[in-house]
Amino acid sequence: MTVSYQYDVASSTSGGFTRLLFKWKGSLYKLIYKELFIFCLAFAGMSCVYRFVFTEPQKREFEKVAMYCDTYMSYIPLSFILGFYVSFVASRWWQQYMAIPWPDKIIHAIALHVTGYDEKGRMMRRTLARYINLSLVLILRSISSPLKKRFPTLDHLVEAGFMTSTELGIYKMVPNKEFNTYWVPCTWFTALLRDIKAQKRIPDPLGVKHIMEEFNEFRQKCGLLWSYDWVSIPLVYTQVVTIATYAFFIAAIVGRQFFEESKVSHKKKVDLYIPFFTILQFFFYMGLLKVAEQLINPFGDDDEDFELNWIIDRHMKVSYLIVDTLLLRTPPLVKDIFYDDESPVLPYTEASAEFKKKTYRGSVANMIVPEEKQNLILPDILEEGEEDIGPYTPLASLQPSVRSSAANLGGAVKDQRSLSVPDEGLPGLCGAPAKGSSSPYCSRRDSSKSSAPLSRSSSRRLVPSAAAASAGFWWLLACIKASWRRTQSG
């Protein structure tokens, strides 16, 4: 019963939303016309009583009451309460639609894995499909009034073909006084699937696993539908919103009246027999309340409720087509018309030719970089954690700290000469490098002695990072410690 108007708003230039204002089915006017009529009748009656029935002293007292209502009715946070409530109800409404299970995935899995085109194979596949749809019908007739009207008793399910007489007898034997038994066909499904596997009609060893995964998802959604019907929005929340809305407009019937001697200028100067802006407020606020009232239970017979009867019919027909009819009517394997075409061009009709657009290749696809700026370079940027110690930092400036560390390690050693670090550096590091190796520290000292100046970018590439300098220092310290141990042992 959902009202669809997608085609009417397909183009925003043709006044789509304006045309929607003249629709009746599912419209705002259809929702609130009764309440609006009662409100206008009460407002007009109160106005007539004030003008023609009340005496002058009574009019003055009524004006005090009306001023009081008009002043304090704004204290009701109606827009906030209604907005939050309707947002919550609309979100829950869509979640309930998404919880309706569709058997297509599990039906395709059955058609794929359960083999056999003989009569028994067809019966197995069709029975599995029927059990799935029977479980859905049983849960929907428990929560939906249209489905309950369609299948008021279980005998109607037998007449409709969802259940056999034997299955109905077995179903009635299940105790159902304390819980709903919509899940009984699910147990029949698993038992039949087990027999099919025992008869080796599922050649794929993972076929049963695939079918059961889809079955569990279907079964979970059936339970979710039951939960949505069982656990409603807290009643106190709905009562707060309803009382706030009706209290606001009951106060408006008195507070929005015209006064003959009013302290409020607009009520005295303009005598409007029809309260236009109050009626607009009624449209908005009462309309929101009616939207929530319509969406809070989408399994009824309102204009925006779900087409559950159509869904049941569709599921049953599609299930039988997939597991039986279409399996026997598959088209032959042939080459497509673009088989030898590497870049096929798909045709358009004359009516749709205007929708053919150029391919979008990115916002900077046509950007041109100047040729003189296309050379690859190494950016002169320090990474995080690195310390800029200058382009020309010789190793000699770091040797005093090394000597002090070696002296601390020597402790009670009398001969410190073996622990001293010569200015020429250590073998393999500086001065006397090992074969096939070179030290970045030595290259830095040699570069510092060179008369040719280095650029900042090239000289910085000769400077080791802080991590490399720390590693070299600890390696040097380890060498000194090993030399000290050999001196002690000698």
Of the chain, the percentage scoring pLDDT greater than 90 comes to 47
Is the pLDDT at 404 greater than 70? The verdict is no
Which is more confident, 198 or 328?
A: 198
pLDDT of amino acid 272: 66
Alpha helices (H) in 231-272, listed in sequence order: 235-255, 265-269
395 touches 441 (CB < 8 A): yes
Is the pLDDT at 44 greater than 60? The verdict is yes
423 touches 399 (CB < 8 A): yes
Is the pLDDT at 69 greater than 60? The verdict is yes
Is the pLDDT at 103 greater than 90? The verdict is yes
pLDDT of amino acid 24: 81
Q: How would residue 27 be classed by pLDDT, with cut points 50, 70 and 90?
A: confident
Domain ranges of the chain: 22-98+234-295, 104-230, 395-489
Sign of the torsion angle spanned by Cα atoms 76, 77, 79, 85? negative
Any idea how long the chain is? 490
Measured CA to CA, the distance from residue 469 to residue 35 in angstroms comes to 84
Q: How would residue 189 be classed by pLDDT, with cut points 50, 70 and 90?
A: very high
Sign of the torsion angle spanned by Cα atoms 224, 227, 228, 229? positive
Task: Tell me what the pLDDT averaged over the chain comes to.
Answer: 81
pLDDT of amino acid 257: 84
The whole-model pTM stands at 0.69
For residue range 333-368, list pLDDT tens digits in order: 999 999 988 889 899 999 988 888 888 889 998 899
Q: How many CA atoms lie within 13 A of 293 on its CB side?
A: 14
Is the pLDDT at 441 greater than 70? The verdict is no
Measured CA to CA, the distance from residue 222 to residue 437 in angstroms comes to 74
pLDDT of amino acid 71: 86
For residue range 246-296, list pLDDT tens digits in order: 999 999 999 888 877 666 555 555 556 788 888 999 999 999 999 999 999
Across the range 458-464, mean pLDDT stands at: 44
Q: How would residue 462 be classed by pLDDT, with cut points 50, 70 and 90?
A: very low
Which is more confident, 15 or 50?
A: 50
pLDDT of amino acid 359: 86
pLDDT of amino acid 466: 59
Is the pLDDT at 460 greater than 90? The verdict is no
Q: How would residue 467 be classed by pLDDT, with cut points 50, 70 and 90?
A: low
Q: How would residue 388 be classed by pLDDT, with cut points 50, 70 and 90?
A: low
Alpha helices (H) in 256-381, listed in sequence order: 265-269, 276-295, 308-320
Alpha helices (H) in 73-118, listed in sequence order: 78-98, 104-113
Across the range 316-320, mean pLDDT stands at: 95
Which is more confident, 454 or 60?
A: 60
Is the pLDDT at 15 greater than 80? The verdict is no
350 phi/psi in degrees, rounded to 5: -65, -35
Measured CA to CA, the distance from residue 170 to residue 362 in angstroms comes to 64
For residue range 138-167, list pLDDT tens digits in order: 999 999 999 999 999 999 999 999 999 999
Is the pLDDT at 194 greater than 50? The verdict is yes
Across the range 230-256, mean pLDDT stands at: 92
Among 227-241, 320-334, 390-404, where is mean pLDDT lowest?
390-404
State the Cα angle at 436 between 434 and 439, rounded to 5°.
60
Please identify which residue in the block is written with the tokens 């009451």. 65
Across the range 40-68, mean pLDDT stands at: 89
Determine the angle formed by the axes of helices 28-48 and 235-255, rounding to 10 degrees: 40
Which is more confident, 416 or 374?
A: 374
Is the pLDDT at 231 greater than 50? The verdict is yes
What is residue 490's three-state secondary structure?
coil
Among 88-92, 358-362, 410-414, where is mean pLDDT lowest?
410-414
Across the range 225-236, mean pLDDT stands at: 93
Measured CA to CA, the distance from residue 42 to residue 253 in angstroms comes to 7
